Chains A and B, each alone.
Chain A
Amino acid sequence: MITNDELASIINGCKNGDGECFSRIVDIYSSRCFGYFYRLTANSDISDELLSELFTKLVDKIGSYKGGSFDSWLFRIATNIFNDHLRAKQRRKKMMEVLMTRREELEEVMESKKSEGEVTDRLQVQLARLDGGTRELIMLRFYSQLSLKEIAHMRSEPIGTTLSKLHRGLKRLRELMGC
């Protein structure tokens, strides 16, 4: 476990353009960020792309980090990247709908696309049954290791709402998993 002082020193190095410090950040956060993307997309190829994009953006944006919780700052970028990905996916879907005239053909294609990258671990299947917002909240909480107060602030909602959504989501997941 890295201490706050060590992390601050690494971040300073990153701000000065030190490649070694960026490598350490990748080592520290890649696993959690990949898990976050993977549980939200259920696709390793897409998660690979999103993780690469996250660290490329980190190089761009590190100058704008003005202190505070680095995890919160990094996962805010990760969340934005995921939301951009979702919007792009929606656009692609709409374009496909326009191109495809027959509904059966569209469903067939979407089904085959979905099954290509989908990993069928049990948790992933049950997570897919939760609504998108709840799934994102649970994953953000689990992988970012942020406090509920920070998550509520990041999502711009009252802490009571965050608490309630998290509780309902995890309770539902327990039921779905049969635990």
Chain B
Amino acid sequence: MRGPEKEDLRELFERFVGAEQANEAVEDILKGEQILRDNPAPEPDARLIVSIKAQIAKELALRRAKASRWTFFRVAAVAAVIVIFASIGIKLMHREGKTGQVYISSMMPAAIWESSNITVDDTRLGILAAAVEEIENEFTHLQEGGNGRNGEKTIEELETELIDINSDYGKGQFVWM
């Protein structure tokens, strides 16, 4: 350990003054310091030392508590960030899955769309087709001057019947009588 006793005072003084003066100065210093050693200052009270140590222990405990609180908050913050990023990632993945798929919706069932004979594969369309064919036949018959009834009246009846069929078909209630 470094200390005053290990220092060469004479050599230090000789940097500034002559050898004789240096010797005197060193003697003054050593005798002066001897006075201090002969008259020691009082020692600190033992209770003071105990109190200081207790104060230090309390301070260290407070610091430890503070440090653990900070650690907890840091871990919680990191966990929160991870959870937030994870949930954002999951949402994005879902969204990406949806955008990657093309949903094709059609008003027409695939069976009908792919059918080579609609009137056979769809009963309702078959009935409608039969009704239209029946009306067509009636028109043809009337044009040819058939059944001897009042022509105007018959056309009106057909028109009404056609409107009813159209309306019922629109409502999905069409049944061929």
Contact = CB atoms under 8 A, between A and B. Distances in A.
Interface of A: 1-4, 7, 17, 19, 22-23, 26-27, 30-31, 34-35, 38-39, 44, 47-48, 51-52, 55-56, 59, 69, 71, 119, 121-123, 138, 141-142, 145-150, 159-160, 163-164, 166-167, 169-171, 173-174, 177, 179
B38 to A, nearest CB: 8
Interface stretch (B50-58, B113-121, B122-130): B50-58
B44 A19 contact: no
A177 B7 CA distance: 26
B60 A142 contact: no
Contacts of B134: none
Interface in B57-81: 57, 59-60, 63-64
A173 B60 contact: no
Contact of B41 (A26, A38, A150, A179): A38
B153 to A, nearest CB: 112
B45 A123 contact: no
A26 B59 CA distance: 15
Contacts of B52: 26, 30, 51-52, 55
Contact of B56 (A4, A23, A170, A171): A23
A167 B25 contact: yes
B56 A174 contact: no
Given A22-B56, A147-B7, A177 B28 contact: no
B176 interface: no
Contact of B2 (A47, A146, A159): A146
Interface of B: 1-4, 6-7, 9, 12-13, 15-16, 25, 28-29, 31-33, 35-36, 39-45, 48-49, 51-53, 55-57, 59-60, 63-64
The DSSP consensus for interface residues of chain A is helix
Contacts, number: 121
Contacts of A30: 44, 49, 52
B31 A179 contact: yes
Nearest to A4: B1
A34 B35 contact: no
A69 B49 CA distance: 24
Contacts of B16: 160, 163-164
Given A26-B56, A147-B4, A159-B12, 16 more contacts: A17-B60, A22-B60, A23-B53, A23-B56, A27-B49, A52-B48, A56-B59, A119-B42, A138-B32, A147-B3, A164-B16, A167-B28, A167-B29, A169-B32, A173-B32, A174-B28
Nearest to B57: A19
17 contacts: A17-B63, A22-B53, A34-B41, A51-B48, A52-B48, A52-B51, A56-B59, A69-B2, A123-B35, A123-B36, A148-B4, A149-B7, A163-B12, A166-B29, A170-B28, A170-B32, A177-B35
